Amino acid sequence: MKEKQNKKKKIEGKCRNTSLRSNVISTVSSAAHTIGTTACFFMTKRLYNFLPGGQPDPTINPVFLPELTTQCPQNGDINVRLPMDRISERVFDKQILQNIKDGFAVLQTDAGLYEDVTTRRVVDSYLGMLNPFFGPTFESDFVKAIVKMGKIGVKTGSKGEIRRVCSAFN
């Protein structure tokens, strides 16, 4: 829990001078997981040793737990991939937020968004029936957040570097 709070404070600290609000931060941190997969390696502690005595993370929906333990058995292949958004893993949408609310978050960091009062309100606001008609939408806030975060700590001039190959330093 303390580790999650430290990560959140670190992100908020970096974003303080960019006028990013906590709802934008939570949008980015959860929305990025609406597409893609993760490895069982990142699930082992959450599934088999989260609480003393080898208990799983209690925030995992009891219906979802057997699905996760089947895909990532204890002492199994830690390289097995599973979708981070179990309903629409190949579609950019707000289903990941519904998953988080319902206890179907694959990653602990995503589940943590519903444990924190501030970010829980944001998740709920994007899922409200009137959200498409009133207030900012998940999609528009996500775009704004990505643009703003892309401006954090940009190095220019001789301090910066344009990579010829994105995965390697020049």
Binding residues: 33-34, 85, 93
Whether the CA torsion 15, 16, 17, 19 is positive or negative: it is positive
Estimate to the nearest angstrom the gap between the alpha carbon of 11 and the chain centroid. 13
123 CB contacts (<8 Å, ≥6 apart)? 26, 30, 97, 100, 101, 113, 114
Q: Position of tokens 């924190």?
A: 116
Phi/psi of residue 38, each to 5°? Answer: -135, 165
Q: Which two tokens stand for residue 15?
A: 């974003």
Residue type, 132: P
**Binding-site residues from annotation for Ca(2+):** 34, 85, 93
Indicate the SS3 state at residue 60. Answer: coil
- Strands 81-83, 37-39: pairing kind: antiparallel
**Binding-site residues from annotation for heme b:** 33
